[in-house]
């Protein structure tokens, strides 16, 4: 407290508390909140969730406090040596006489928070070996069934259906519907990958979505999706975004495709290529049969020349054996041709069945699309109704409603702790008082406990 004394008759003598309180008020009035650039050092986090560090440059340094609520809103992890911009209140912590910044907003300097979070996760997963080429699995040449983790209403699933229908419509597709952007979408994508991996006849999984900004692709730059791809029991192909987009999912997947269409082309064999391969094998088989007959004919000719030197009975016996051998050869050739003919007929039947199956699947996809649209609309309507009810209940339980009835929440200014007892305070302690429509600052003159009720 002021002593009332002066020096030289006109200069008052102040207490330490009065001096620091005056400086605090001066900072509040003349400085307020400011943007400050500097480098983080001496970073440490308390068990309360608050983060403390020193912000410095080549000329000076200042203490800074990032309280739990503001820290939870960060998209990246602060670390020593990081150049940042802080938006903060400049305050005097009177208990120690320190100048400090109460940080309200923290941003990396020179790069976005999403890009920094991407790089931090990339370095951590790379150190674990999740990107190691030795862990990449080969894709099946002709999968029994293809799983697709994507939005059922997006352009990506339509691109995949179009490519697979053109290349080999006989291979069935299984779509695990999921949101591909927005809060919580990373958990849905990971769950879709896990669900497809549990299907016994799914031999490969496509994780696809169209292009977008770094924020739009954030679900595929998360640890949840990366871990789901790494633990998948079957190979995973990532086709996220456009050619220039590279996500964490791309780096973990067994194969990366620049687009969803390219991802489908990687896993679906081309039926025209299969037909050309079959024709090539058939020509090779015919040439081998012709060569076999030519060698047999040459052996017969050589035998005929040898038989000409023998007695007629020996020649007749040799001719008989020759005829029997030719009969057997012709029988085998006829059987082989019949088998090849039957094989070609079977392939033709399979191709026809594939075309019919494609038409049936197209009808089924259209029916499922209509049913899905109806289900989505119903779910949206139910969700809106539930949201309205929840909002009404939440409004009734809101702490702000309690404050509106005249109550207040009192916290110590130095650490944000809620005040419930007199022994938490000392005279001169600064308080932050929250009422319904204002936040007040107060100073304790005296704290006394209430008698027990």
- The CATH number of residue 88's host domain is 2.40.50.140
Residues 309 and 411 in one domain: no
Structural domain span for residue 412: 404-443
pLDDT tens readout for residues 96-125: 778 888 899 888 775 566 777 788 888 888
Q: What is the pLDDT of residue 306?
A: 65
State whether 290 and 167 are in the same domain.
Answer: no
Is 121 within a domain? no
What confidence category does residue 1 fall into, taking pLDDT thresholds of 50, 70 and 90?
A: very low
Question: What is the model's pLDDT at position 355?
Answer: 76
Q: What is the pLDDT of residue 235?
A: 95
Are 210 and 252 in a shared domain? yes
Q: Do residues 217 and 343 share a domain?
A: no
Residue 134 has which token pair? 């030795």
pLDDT tens-place string over residues 47-85? 888 999 999 988 889 999 999 888 887 777 888 878 888
pLDDT score for 2: 52
Give yes or no: residues 151 and 245 share one domain. yes
**Distance (Å, whole) CA 426 – CA 414:** 12
Boundary of a domain, candidates 219, 251, 267: 267
9-18, 30-39, 175-184: least confident range? 9-18
Is 242 domain-assigned?
Answer: yes
DSSP classification of residue 418: B
Buried b (16+ CB within 10 A) or exposed e, 352-382: eeeeeebeebeeebeeeeeeeeeeeeeeeee
pTM: 0.48
pLDDT at residue 7, as a whole number:
62
89 vs 104: CA distance, rounded Å: 8
Percent of the chain at pLDDT exceeding 70: 92
In the chain, the number of structural domains is: 4
For 346-385, the pLDDT digits (tens) are 787 877 877 788 888 888 888 888 888 888 888 888 888 8
**Across 212-329, where does the E strand assignment appear?**
236-240, 255-256
pLDDT confidence of 315, banded at 50, 70, 90?
Answer: low
More confident of the two residues 119 and 43: 43
Q: Could you tell me the two tokens for 142?
A: 């002709």
Between 339 and 94, name the one with better pLDDT: 339
Longest CA–CA span in the chain (Å) reads 158
Q: Where residue 9 falls among pLDDT bands split at 50, 70, 90? A: low
């Amino acid at each position: 407290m002021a002593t009332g004394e002066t020096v030289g008759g006109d200069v008052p003598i102040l207490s330490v508390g009065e001096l620091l309180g005056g400086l605090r008020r001066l900072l509040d009035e003349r400085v307020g909140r400011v943007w400050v650039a500097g480098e983080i050092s001496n970073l440490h986090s308390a068990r309360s969730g608050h983060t403390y560090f020193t912000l410095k440059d080549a000329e000076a340094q200042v203490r800074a406090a990032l309280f739990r609520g503001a820290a939870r809103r960060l998209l990246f992890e602060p670390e020593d040596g990081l150049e940042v911009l802080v938006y903060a209140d400049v305050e005097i912590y009177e208990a120690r006489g320190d100048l400090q910044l109460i940080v309200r907003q923290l941003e990396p300097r020179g790069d976005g928070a999403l890009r920094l979070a991407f790089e931090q996760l990339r370095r951590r997963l790379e150190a674990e070996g999740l990107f190691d080429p030795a862990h990449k699995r080969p894709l099946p040449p002709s999968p029994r069934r293809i799983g697709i983790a994507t939005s059922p209403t997006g352009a990506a699933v339509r691109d995949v259906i179009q490519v697979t229908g053109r290349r080999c419509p006989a291979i069935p597709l299984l779509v695990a519907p999921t949101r591909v952007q927005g809060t919580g979408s990373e958990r849905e994508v990971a769950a879709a990958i896990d669900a497809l991996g549990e299907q016994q006849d799914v031999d490969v999984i496509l994780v696809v979505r169209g292009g977008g900004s770094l924020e739009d692709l954030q679900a595929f730059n998360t640890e949840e999706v990366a871990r789901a791809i790494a633990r998948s029991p079957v190979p995973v192909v990532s086709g996220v975004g456009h050619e220039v987009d590279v996500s964490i999912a791309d780096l973990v997947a067994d194969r990366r495709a620049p687009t969803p269409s390219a991802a489908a082309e990687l896993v679906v064999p081309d039926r025209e290529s299969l037909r050309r391969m079959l024709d090539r094998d058939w020509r090779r088989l015919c040439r081998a049969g012709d060569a076999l007959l030519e060698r047999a004919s040459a052996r017969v000719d050589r035998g005929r020349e040898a038989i000409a030197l023998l007695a007629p009975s020996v020649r007749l016996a040799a001719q008989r054996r020759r005829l029997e051998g030719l009969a057997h050869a012709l029988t085998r050739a006829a059987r082989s041709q019949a088998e090849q003919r039957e094989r070609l007929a079977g392939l033709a039947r399979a191709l026809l069945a594939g075309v019919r199956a494609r038409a049936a699947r197209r009808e089924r996809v259209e029916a499922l699309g209509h049913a899905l649209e109806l289900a989505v609309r119903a779910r949206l309507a139910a969700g809106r109704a539930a949201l309205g009810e929840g909002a009404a209940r939440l409004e009734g339980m809101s702490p702000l409603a309690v404050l509106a009835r005249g109550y207040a929440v009192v916290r110590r200014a130095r650490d944000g702790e809620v005040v419930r007892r007199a022994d938490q305070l000392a005279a001169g302690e600064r308080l932050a008082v929250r009422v319904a429509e204002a936040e007040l600052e107060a100073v304790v003159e005296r704290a006394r406990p209430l008698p027990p009720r």
